[in-house]
Structure 1
Amino acid sequence: MTGAAQIAEFALRTLRDGVPDDVLAAAHLHFLDGIGVGIASATVAGNARWAAAAADGCASLLTGGTAEPGAAAMINGALIHALEYDDTHFGSVVHGSAVAAPLALAATQLARGSGGDLILAYIVAWEVAIRIGLAAPGGFQARGFQATSVGGAIGAAAAASPVLGLDHGQTVSAIGIAGGQASGTLAFLADGAGSKALNPGWAARTGIDAARLARAGMTGPASILESTFGVMNAFADGHGSLIQQLDTLGEDWLLPQAAFKLYPCCHYIHPYLEAIDQVMAEGLLPQDVLSLMAFVPPPQAPLICEPWSRRQAPLSGYDGKWGLAYCMALMLIDGRVDVASFESAPRDEVIRFARRMKWEPMQGHAFPARFEARINIETGQGEVVAKIAQVHGAPGRPIADADIHTKFLMNAGRMKDKTEAKALQTYILRLNTAPDLEEIAALLRV
């Protein structure tokens, strides 16, 4: 079978037969986290206005309104990704919920399906996107593409198809159509443009539109993944271990390995913020810091270190989310890095502090299997060294369920009162038992 045929078989089987209990439990937590992040994003100045680009329809928007399903998936995906607060699978570097959550919600509302349909579609989109990323680790980024958006489009089409009633052949076509429309470059890095947030949203929309087109009779290439001009060759310069990755679909479940974020900035920066937090807990004060050297795995450097002058003095609050020096300075000065940290223009005092910092390549790193950090801080009393072997939230260093619940309530609480936020949390955590989506539509409505 072609890769698309294997993925289609997996998607149809999963929607029919379900998944192991531990995968289902992880999916509920990750879906909860993604929806909470999207709601918080909708309260940030400017983000809510994106909904004006969408025609009205039956699907819920995290801004509180409704839109045509494809447009809702696109806007909600952009909202979830815009804060850089959404979950990540490390090995594939895929931000799965920013594609899977809006795709599953919109497709299931379009189909008038159940909560069980929604959560299973969400799992399918995640699992497929991870496998595409793992088939060429670092390969998409090396050619200037975001693995989330390329692999996400394939996963979105696979997930939407069985929800919308497509058979195996139609699902293969939907995957082929989506692969032909996959996109999502890293060009935003040049000036910190906000359109990076749209990459997973566009992937989610691509999945819905591809499934609808396939249902209407359009065909797509069955060899979209592995052919000469297919996704893997076009976006990642080869299909690497694609066959091996797809052979274990539905046997080895990878969604539970995805990491939650505790800070709303690039995930590569998180272990450095942990290191700062660690030395501050041991008594280091901002005024003690004369200089700081960060050791960074070279594959991460283009995103969080280059050009260093801009990673010290970002062009905007949003641009600051990729500034390693700026974020470390925020943590040292404020003792926190949260949504509010990036809502205003970069602060002069933070920039001045960031300009005391330098970086060097980390030798012997284990990226992308580990997101690690090392910092050396010069103080008047000598050198302070801090190391983080693996970021909090990764496999082996899990975040407690209660902390994910707290994060959701804080995020949802930016738009909703405590009773509304708690009701939405309770509903999502039992989503697989919901006979329809009327309740979530009502809870998301403003």
Structure 2
Amino acid sequence: MAAMTAPSGLTSELVRRARALHGRLPDEVMASARLHLLDAIGVGALGARSGPLHGLDRVATGAHAGGRSTVLGSGASAPASVAALVNGSYIHSLEFDDTHVGSVMHGSATLAAAALAVAQDADLGGAAMLSAYALGWEAIIRMGLASPGTLQARGFQTTSAAGPFAAALVSSLLLDDPEDVAVSALGIAGSMPGGTFAFLAEGDTVKAGQPAWAAHSGLWAAELARAGMTGPSRVLEGDWGFFALYADDPGAPARLADELTTLGDRWHLPDAAFKMIPCCHFIHPFVEALGEVLDGGVRADDIASIHCHVPRGAVPVIADPWSDRQSPRTPHDARWSLPYVLAGRAVDGHVALDLFSDPIGGARLDLSRRITHEVWDDSGFPARFPARLRVTLMGGRTIDASVDDVLGGAGRPVPARDVLAKARANLTAAGLGAEQVDQVVAELIDAPDPDLRRLAGALGAAAG
């Protein structure tokens, strides 16, 4: 079926609007950007220290060494594109990074990595970095909202598919590229989307690198445009455009055009959700629902079985094939296992990092194998991430529990104090001393124009 006619020049419109807004964002949007960037850096520093990709900073040595951009968990610096690749991988490696629910975008894994790397490389101030980071978020969210769920349904991780466009925009904003160069950068980025869900079959760690590769690719797209390469101005629309090829959604460009008309009036970043447990966000509301049952006095030993209603769009990620989800191949693979995470919540009394580093087995595995599921067609996913489950006790009594939407989304925001506490805990666990933690928080949250050199110095305390 031929793609429907859509408004022309979507990348030109995005670039024009973003350039006009850069450096002029409302205070509440900048405040949200500060919290999200701090959260991302805390999660990334912890991932560098103890995550499944610990040691990835070796990429920033040898031929890839040098440059002025911080490499988390290391005393080294690297060229911007290399630092963005390593840092973005660390940020996403623990499945502890933020998500915009409706668009299913893990924006910070791509955009915090890109914005920090480019701003440091160009010796810019933190206020410019935060502004470009926020506008990158607004772009990637709108791309997801223009075609909700379709990229994922076709087997692509949404962030790594759309991320190169947003990362290229961030770079172009920070380096003040002329409009035609920025439009070409986004056009070139259209040759770089990727990131499939093939990793789910064996629990591979490449998933963490997918949004990071989007950051790396977007920065290179912008560099190539500055050097004279041109890219198509209609890269998002038309028969050969991004949405037709990757989402199979000919109506998406027109919806994105509508979304862009609100840029500057409607801000989506403040609605992005912070994660408070380190696993796939689709699992979080189920953990909360089971927690309500357990808080009522039920113990793991009391549970005969659990039955879950799983939104259809989430099934391929956290429930399919069910036998593999019940028995994850590796501790890291358990981050996408609905039954094993629920079993861990019941047996351990919480969901923490040790669930994803301890060997698979024991009471967790036994209960996981007694959890079943069915597909839930009218759940409202992905506009919201809901959960329904039934716990059957050993005596035969059943207890139902449900959660309408995940904690942290637009309707249920996590208080700023909890985000700050999470960041402080993660930075401390990453090896920063109290003075360095205070300095990172002060720069990113309190300083009118964060000093990125001081930030780099504080983060360097976590090297090793």
Normalising by the smaller structure, the TM-score range is over 0.9
Query: For residues 363 and 221 of structure 1, what CA distance do their matches in structure 2 show?
Result: 38
Aligned residue number for residue 3 of structure 2: none
Counterpart of 1:307 in structure 2 is 321
How many angstroms apart in 2 are the aligned matches of 1:73 and 1:242?
27
Counterpart for residue 249 of structure 1: 263
Structure 1 equivalent of residue 20 of structure 2? 13
1:94 matched residue in structure 2: 105
Contact 1:99 1:125 in 2 (8 A): no
Of 398, 413, 437, the residue aligned with 1:383 is: 398
Number of the residue aligned with 1:398: 413
Q: 1:289 aligns with which of 300, 303, 309?
A: 303
> 2:240 — aligned with what?
229
Aligned to 2:435: 419
Aligned 8 A contact 2:432 2:459 in 1: no
User: Structure 1: which amino acid aligns with 2:334?
Assistant: G
Give the counterpart letter for 1:243 in structure 2. Answer: A
Q: 1:143 aligns with which of 146, 151, 154?
A: 154
SS of 2:307's equivalent in the other structure is strand
- The offset of 1:222, in angstroms, is 0.7
How far apart are residue 232 of structure 1 and its match?
A: 1.0
Matched with 2:182 is 171
Distance change >3 Å, CA 287–CA 235, structure 1 → 2: same
Q: Per-residue displacement from partner, 1:229-254 (whole Å, max 9, x unpaired)?
A: 12111111124222212222222111
Secondary structure at 1:429 match in 2: helix
Q: How does 1:179-194 map to 2 (within 5 A)?
A: 179-194=190-205
Q: Could you tell which deviates more after superposition, 264-273 or 413-422? A: 413-422
> 1:26 aligns to what?
32
Distance 2:71 2:54 in 1: 10
Q: Distance in 2 between matches of 1:267 and 1:431?
A: 31
| Match of residue 210 from structure 1 | 221
State the AA in 1 paired with 2:48.
Answer: A
For residues 276 and 419 of structure 1, the distance between their equivalents in structure 2, rounded to whole angstroms, comes to 38
Shift of 1:431: 5.0
1:187-242 alpha-carbon deviations (Å, 9 max, x no partner): 11121111011111011111211111111111111111103212111111124222
Unaligned residue ranges in structure 1 (runs of 5+)? none
Amino acid at match of 2:20: R
Q: Does 1:367 align with 2:378?
A: no
Aligned equivalents of 1:431, 1:296: Cα separation in 2: 43
Q: Distance in 1 between matches of 2:208 and 2:390?
A: 33
1:298 & 1:364 partners in 2: Cα distance?
A: 8
Selected match of 2:330 from 270, 291, 316: 316
1:41 to 32, 40, 47: 47
Q: Secondary structure at the match of 1:217?
A: coil
From 143, 152, 172, the equivalent of 2:163 is 152
For each residue in 1:149-183, what CA deviation from the matched residue of structure 2 results, as whole angstroms up to 9, or x when unmatched?
A: 12211111111102123110000000111111121
What is residue 118 of structure 1 aligned with on the other side? 129
Decide which moves more: 305-314 or 416-425: 416-425
- 1:62 corresponds, among 68, 72, 75, to 72
Please give the secondary structure, in 1, of the residue aligned with 2:392.
Answer: strand
1:112 and 1:356 mapped to 2: Cα distance? 55
SS in structure 2 of the partner of residue 309 of structure 1: helix
Q: Distance in 2 between matches of 1:48 and 1:189?
A: 20
Residue 195 of structure 1: aligned partner: 206
Distance 2:344 2:138 in 1: 35
Secondary structure of the corresponding residue to residue 295 of structure 1: strand
Cα deviation, residue 347, structure 1? 2.7
Aligned-partner residue type, residue 398 of structure 2: E
Kept in 1, the 8 Å contact 2:235–2:241? The answer is yes
| Matching residue within 3, 9, 22 for 1:2 | 9
Distance 1:354 1:302 in 2: 18
User: 1:204 & 1:432 partners in 2: Cα distance?
Assistant: 26
Give yes or no for contact 2:52–2:93 (8 Å, CA) kept in 1.
no
Classify 1:3/1:432 alpha carbon distance in 2 versus 1 (closer, same or farther; 3 Å).
Answer: farther
Alignment check: 8 A CA contact 2:43 2:426 kept: yes
Aligned CA-pair RMSD: 1.3
Identical aligned residues as a percent: 39
Paired AA for residue 60 in structure 1: T
Deviations 1:55-105 (A, max 9, x none): 112100111232111010011111111111111111110001111101000
Q: Give the whole-Å Cα distance in 2 for the aligned partners of 1:48 and 1:114.
A: 29
1:47–1:79 contact (8 Å) kept in structure 2: yes
SS in 2 for 1:48: coil
* Partner residue, 2:84: 73
- Provide the secondary structure at the position in 1 that maps to 2:25: coil
Structure 2: unaligned runs, 5 residues or longer: 1-7
3-state SS of paired residue (2:380): coil
User: Per the alignment, in what secondary structure is the counterpart of residue 162 of structure 2?
Assistant: helix
Shift of 1:5: 0.3
**Aligned CA distance change for structure 1 residues 381 and 46 (closer, same or farther; 3 Å):** closer
Greater mean alpha carbon deviation, residues 340-349 or residues 324-333? 340-349
Query: Could you say if the C-alpha distance between residues 46 and 293 of structure 1 is closer, same or farther in structure 2, counting changes exceeding 3 Å?
Result: closer
Equivalences, count: 444
Residue type of the alignment partner of 2:417: A
In terms of mean alpha carbon deviation, does 91-100 or 2-11 score higher?
2-11
- The counterpart of 2:278, out of the listed 247, 264, 281, is 264
Q: Contact (CA 8 Å) 1:8, 1:172: kept in 2 or not?
A: yes
Structure 2 CA distance, aligned partners of 1:397 and 1:22?
17
Offset at residue 363 of structure 1 (A): 4.6
Alpha-carbon distance in 1 for matches of 2:117, 2:367:
44
Tell me the TM-score normalised to structure 2 length: 0.93
